[in-house]
Amino acid sequence: MSNFKIGDIVARKSYNYDVLFKITNIHPNGIVDLVGITVRIIADAQEYDLKLITKEELDKKLRNIEMSRRARLNRSFNNMNNKNIKMKYMRESYNELNNSIYQKDKTYKKPGRILHLDGDFEYSEKCKEMYKKFGITAYVLNVDEKEQYKQIYALLQRYKPEILILTGHDAFIKRKNDIYNIDNYKNSRYYIQAVLEARRYEHNLDNLVIFAGACQSYYEAIISAGANFASAPKRVLIDMMDPLIVAETVAYTPVNEFVPLENIISNTREGIDGIGGLQTRGQYRVGMPGL
């Protein structure tokens, strides 16, 4: 009889307890299916390799992770906010020159709209909260990784976003030792198929900005399929909030400027090892007068 149950929080002894997992299934042969609770990875392990994490250990670990995550999110937001100060100056200068018409009017600010599909329900709910805090209109849907490519075209037609985020869980099977073989990834093929479908809807990289991937995803293939940004160049773990830093940066970069990759790279968990991408225009628009 197993010493564990579905829903238990565990860590792997052979990996020095580096990642916290939730047990999603226990097989009769002693293999346990795992999903990361703070990083976007799926894995399996023998029961003897697992340690049950107590509530006290879990709370301490989550507090530390949340402090680090909040610091990165705040730094990313402040970077974008400081960048947009010049937008405010341009508006004030414009009003001074045209005070007979626009003196009392306010500008209309429109960050890019987001459609976000994620394979994990709990993560989807957290994303909804974060987008609301960012002040971004976002449609967040819980769609299994294997189903995303089947639904994406119709969803794009329905929501008409400027930014598309495709996330969930993934993993590279290290024992296979070939990073260029799609069969060695848990879910990368589904992100690739979803990106291809999205590009069938809109081929222009600046009209629909796409991020796709999770932990250890097949970065090169996802970019080649048509994504603007993807994970993970060095097949590392990414934080569950890293895709939101990409989304926020794109949403608040003015349409006449390129997305500052340095903001993304410097504020995500593993930097350029975890997230990479192409030169892309932002999706932030300002209009006059306000609506």
Q: pLDDT of 40-69, one tens digit each?
A: 888 899 999 999 999 898 888 888 888 887
From 47, 28, 35, 31, select the one nearest 7 (Cα to Cα): 35
Residue 58 lies in a domain: no
The pLDDT value given to residue 62:
83
The pLDDT value given to residue 98:
45
Binning pLDDT at 50, 70 and 90, where does residue 1 land? low
Residue 216 lies in a domain: yes
| 203 and 128 inside one domain | yes
Domain limits at 256? 66-287
Question: Average pLDDT, whole number, for the chain?
Answer: 88
| 33 and 120 inside one domain | no
Residue 1 lies in a domain: no
Average pLDDT score over residue span 242-250? 94
Residue 166 lies in a domain: yes
The pLDDT value given to residue 97:
38
Average pLDDT score over residue span 68-92? 64
| 234 and 189 inside one domain | yes
| 229 and 252 inside one domain | yes
8-43 per-position pLDDT tens digit? 999 999 888 888 999 999 999 989 999 988 888 888
Distance CA 52, CA 196 (A): 41
Decide if pLDDT at 99 tops 50.
no
168-199 per-position pLDDT tens digit? 999 998 777 899 999 999 999 999 999 999 99
Decide if pLDDT at 236 tops 50.
yes
| 76 and 45 inside one domain | no
The pLDDT value given to residue 94:
34
Per the structure, how many domains does the chain have? 2
| 137 and 259 inside one domain | yes
104-126 per-position pLDDT tens digit? 457 778 999 999 999 999 899 99
Binning pLDDT at 50, 70 and 90, where does residue 83 land? low
Distance CA 118, CA 139 (A): 11
| 159 and 186 inside one domain | yes
Tell me the three state secondary structure of residue 52. strand
From 84, 71, 75, select the one nearest 251 (Cα to Cα): 84
Residue 3 lies in a domain: no
| 169 and 259 inside one domain | yes
Question: Could you identify the residue written with the tokens 């097989």?
Answer: 27
| 232 and 276 inside one domain | yes
**What CATH number does residue 75 fall under?**
3.40.50.2300
Contact 80, 263 (CB under 8 A): yes
| 15 and 96 inside one domain | no
Contact 168, 40 (CB under 8 A): yes
Distance CA 74, CA 263 (A): 12
Please give the backbone phi and psi of residue 76, each rounded to the nearest 5 degrees, phi first: -60, -45
Residue 61 lies in a domain: no
The pLDDT value given to residue 37:
87
| 127 and 193 inside one domain | yes
135-174 per-position pLDDT tens digit? 999 999 999 999 999 999 999 999 999 999 999 999 998 7
Residue 233 lies in a domain: yes
Residue 75 lies in a domain: yes
Decide if pLDDT at 100 tops 80.
no
- Which residues share a beta bridge with 209? 163
| 32 and 159 inside one domain | no
